[in-house]
Chain A
Amino acid sequence: MRATVLVRPKPGILDPQGQAVESSLRQLGFPVGDARVGRVVDLEVDAADAAAARAEVERMCEQLLANPLIESYEIELEAAR
Chain B
Amino acid sequence: MTERPRIGVVTFPGSNDDRDAAHALELLGAEAVLVWHGDAELPDVAGVVLPGGFSYGDYLRCGAIARFSPAMRAVTELAAAGGPVLGICNGFQILCEAGLLPGVLRPNESLSFVCRDVDLRVERTDTPFTSLCDPGATLTIPIKHGEGCWFADDELVRQLDANRQIVLRYVDNPNGAVADVAGVVNAERNVMGLMPHPEHAVDPLLGSSDGALILRGLVAAARERTAVVA
Residue of A nearest to B112 (CB): A16
- Contact between chains at A14 and B109 (CB < 8 Å): yes
* A16-B104 contact in complex given A67-B64, A69-B152, A69-B153, C-beta closer than 8 Å: no
| Contact among A13, A16, A65, A67 with B108 in the assembled complex (CB-CB below 8 Å) | A16
Complex contacts, A70 vs chain B, CB 8 Å: 104, 106, 151
Q: How large is the interface on A (under 10, 10 to 19, 20 to 34, 35 or more residues)?
A: 10 to 19
- Mask of A30-60 contacts with B, CB within 8 angstroms, 1/0: 0000000001000000000000000000000
Asked whether, in the complex, the Cβ of A69 is within 8 Å of the Cβ of B109, the reply is: no
Query: Taking chain A's interface residues, is the majority helix, strand, or loop, or is none over half, making it mixed?
Result: mixed
Judge if A28 is at the interface, Cβ distance under 8 Å. Answer: no
Contact residues in A for B106 (Cβ distance below 8 Å): 14, 70
Instruction: List, in ascending order, chain A residues with CB within 8 A of B111's CB.
Output: 16-17, 20
- A17, B111: Cα distance in complex, Å: 7
**Cβ–Cβ < 8 Å partners of A17 in chain B:** 107, 111
Taking the nearest CB of chain B, how far is it from the CB of A62, in angstroms?
12
Please name all residues of chain A whose beta carbon is closer than 8 Å to the beta carbon of B151 when the two chains form the complex.
Answer: 13, 69-70
B residues contacting the other copy or chain, number (CB 8 A):
18
Q: Which residues of B contact A39 (CB under 8 A)?
A: 60
Is the Cβ of A67 less than 8 Å from the Cβ of B107?
no
A51–B108 CA distance with the chains assembled, in angstroms: 38
Contacts of B65 in A (CB 8 A): 64
Q: Choose among A16, A64, A67 the residue that contacts B110 (Cβ–Cβ < 8 A).
A: A16
A64 to B68, CA, bound (A): 9
CB distance from B148 to the nearest CB of A (A): 13
Q: What's the Cα separation between A13 and B60 when bound, in Å?
A: 18
CB distance from B50 to the nearest CB of A (A): 18
Listed from nearest, the 8 A-B pairs whose CB atoms lie closest are A16-B111, A69-B104, A16-B109, A67-B104, A70-B104, A20-B111, A16-B107, A67-B61
Binding site for B on A (CB under 8 A): 13-14, 16-17, 20, 39, 64-65, 67, 69-70
Interface residues in chain B, defined as those with a beta carbon under 8 Å from any beta carbon in chain A: 60-61, 64-65, 68, 97, 103-104, 106-111, 151-153, 176
